[in-house]
């Protein structure tokens, strides 16, 4: 087996057709499956999985897009930090395109501010060493997959004695978000497709309370099309048998305990916040992380508190990102989808992040509306 097989081997058309046929045969009732993770939304839309699955299977898109759930005021934090003199703001990928209340990091960069879009958090070290007279602020985002990398960065910054590195931590956690959605009572979700790479880090043990509390099967699924199809099949079988357990389809990468070293690093530098506002959902207690008190000297929210706006900002009335993140609406239900709100002119974060449901629908989904023209 080669690394090509590890990718291509999970996209075999023969396997896909066979799995589709088996699911069609065994699926007896309507099943609403929430795929928590934005990456899974992407896989489902890009590979057109809804088109080869029976109508009885419906995907409900979950809040697993860390850029999408960032409330506007925290994007304004990033903008405020980037606007400080002698400051370099660094973040990963899509974050620079999200609009805050007045502008975006991308537009600010065009106006001359030093804003860096990184491929790896570790690049912050080099930037800080090359710019000793500047403040380098790392705007950290991501679910449990990316949190350990920020922890390593904190560790390195401290070990190297770097005094010009600061962190604005926006890491969030999956189980609390899922719990918040389910405890509302109005989400009609029968099963979960568990995130692939969050699970690599945390282990699949974190979903056991959910399966037990809400009697919903949770199948931890790999990222590739056959992984998702196989996971849907396992959900169908659990539902048919009246089971609701955590099952690990992604056994080649995920274990029950996860990556203990990564978990330990996270626990060394971060702790849970009591409260964190999720865009469109509201406050979810203990769903986000911050630096521990002993690292306050590195915490941008403490060190630069005076420049950070405090007001909580809500979205435009027409934006239904909140309902989409809660799985209560689909992008096509939104009146501004594809019209006032597009990837180049996004009104809500589901559209601006390429992991967001609206962006995925815009790029891959328009043909799925039967008879749609554009």
Partner 1 sequence: MSKQILLSHGGGGEETQNLIKDLFFKHFENDILLRMEDAASLVMNDHKIAFTTDSFVVSPLFFKGGNIGKLAIAGTVNDLSMMGAKPRYMTCSFMIEEGFLVSHLEDIVMTMRDEMAKSGVKIVAGDTKVVPRGGVDGLFINTAGIGEIMCENISAHNLENDDVIIVSNEVGNHGACILATREEIELESDLQTDCASLWKPVEALIDANVKIHALRDATRGGLSAVLNEWASTSHVCIEVDEAKIPVAKEVRGVCELLGFEPYEFANEGTMVIALPKAEAQRALDILKQFDETAKVAMIGTVSDRFADKVVLHTPWGSERFLEPPKGELLPRIC
Partner 2 sequence: MCLSIPSKVVEIDENNYATVDTMGVKRKVTLDLISEPVNIGDYVLIHVGFAMNKISKEHAEDSIAAYNEIVEAMKDGSIAEDEGESQYDRS
| Residues 333, 361 contacting (CB under 8 angstroms) | no
Q: Which stretch binds partner 2 (CB under 8 A): 211-219, 252-260, 289-297, 313-321?
A: 252-260
Q: In whole angstroms, what is the distance from residue 31 CA to residue 55 CA?
A: 9
Least distance between partner 2 and beta carbon 262 (Å): 5
The count of C-alpha atoms lying within 13 angstroms of the C-alpha of 200, restricted to the half-sphere facing its C-beta, is 12
Q: Which of 22, 83, 84, 107 binds partner 1 (CB under 8 A)?
A: 107
Contacts of 167 (CB under 8 A, 6+ apart): 137, 138, 140, 150, 153, 154, 291, 298, 299, 300
Contacts of 151 (CB under 8 A, 6+ apart): 262, 265, 266, 268, 269, 270
3 state SS of 247: strand
Q: Does 366 bind partner 1 (CB under 8 A)?
A: yes
Our CA dihedral for 60, 195, 368, 14, rounded to 10 degrees, sits at -130
Q: Does 152 bind partner 2 (CB under 8 A)?
A: yes
| Residues 91, 137 contacting (CB under 8 angstroms) | no
Q: How crowded is residue 340: how many other Cβ atoms within 10 Å of its Cβ?
A: 14
3 state SS of 252: coil
Q: Which of 10, 138, 204, 270 binds partner 2 (CB under 8 A)?
A: 10
Complex with partner 2: residue 15 or 243, whichever CB lies closer: 15
Q: Which of 13, 85, 161, 185 binds partner 1 (CB under 8 A)?
A: 13
Q: How crowded is residue 57: how many other Cβ atoms within 10 Å of its Cβ?
A: 20
Q: In whole angstroms, what is the distance from residue 295 CA to residue 303 CA?
A: 11
Q: Which of 30, 205, 213, 261 binds partner 2 (CB under 8 A)?
A: 261
List the interface residues with partner 1, window 150-209 (CB under 8 A).
197
The item of partner 2, partner 1, none sharing an interface with residue 10, based on CB under 5 to 8 Å by kind, is partner 2
Complex with partner 1: residue 146 or 287, whichever CB lies closer: 146
Least distance between partner 1 and beta carbon 185 (Å): 29
267: tokens are 């626990």
Q: Does 119 bind partner 1 (CB under 8 A)?
A: yes
Residues at the contact surface with partner 1, assessed by CB under 8 A: 4, 7, 13, 16-17, 20, 38-39, 42, 45-52, 66, 92-97, 106-107, 110-111, 117, 119, 123, 141-143, 145-146, 197, 225, 343-344, 354-355, 362-368, 372-374
Residues at the contact surface with partner 2, assessed by CB under 8 A: 1-7, 9-10, 12, 14-15, 17-22, 24-25, 27, 36-40, 48, 50-56, 64, 92, 119-123, 142-143, 145-146, 148-149, 152, 195-198, 200-201, 223, 226-227, 230, 251-253, 259-262, 265, 370
């Amino acid at each position: 087996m080669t690394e090509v097989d590890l990718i291509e081997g999970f996209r075999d058309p023969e396997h896909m057709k066979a799995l589709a046929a088996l699911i069609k045969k065994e699926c007896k009732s309507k099943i609403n499956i929430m795929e928590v993770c934005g990456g899974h939304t992407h896989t489902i839309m890009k590979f057109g999985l809804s088109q080869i699955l029976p109508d009885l299977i419906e995907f409900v898109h979950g809040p697993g897009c860390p850029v999408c759930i960032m409330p506007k005021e925290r994007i304004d934090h990033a903008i405020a930090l980037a606007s400080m003199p002698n400051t370099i703001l660094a973040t990963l990928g899509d974050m620079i395109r999200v609009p805050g209340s007045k502008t975006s990091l991308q537009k600010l960069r065009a106006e001359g501010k030093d804003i860096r879009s990184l491929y790896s958090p570790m690049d912050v070290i080099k930037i800080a060493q090359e710019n000793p007279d500047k403040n380098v602020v790392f705007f950290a985002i991501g679910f449990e997959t990316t949190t350990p990398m920020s922890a390593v960065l904190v560790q390195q910054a401290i070990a190297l004695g770097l005094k010009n590195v600061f962190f604005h931590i926006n890491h969030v956690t999956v189980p609390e978000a899922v719990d918040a959605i389910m405890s509302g009572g109005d989400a009609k979700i029968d099963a979960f497709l568990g995130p692939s790479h969050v699970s690599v880090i945390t282990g699949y043990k974190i979903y056991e309370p959910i399966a037990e509390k809400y009697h919903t099967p949770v199948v931890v699924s790999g990222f590739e099309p056959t992984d998702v199809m196989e996971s849907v099949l396992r959900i169908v079988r659990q539902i048919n048998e009246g089971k609701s357990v955590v099952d690990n389809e992604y056994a080649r990468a995920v274990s029950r305990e996860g990556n203990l070293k990564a978990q330990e690093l996270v626990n060394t530098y971060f702790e849970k916040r009591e409260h964190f506002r999720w865009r469109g959902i509201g406050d979810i207690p203990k769903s986000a992380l911050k630096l521990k008190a002993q690292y306050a000297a590195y915490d941008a929210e403490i060190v630069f508190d005076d420049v950070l706006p405090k007001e909580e900002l809500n979205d435009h009335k027409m934006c239904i990102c909140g309902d989409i993140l809660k799985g209560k609406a689909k992008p096509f239900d939104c009146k501004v989808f594809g019209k006032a709100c597009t990837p180049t002119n996004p009104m809500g974060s589901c559209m601006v992040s390429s992991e967001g449901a609206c962006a995925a629908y815009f790029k891959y989904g328009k043909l799925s509306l039967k008879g749609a023209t554009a």
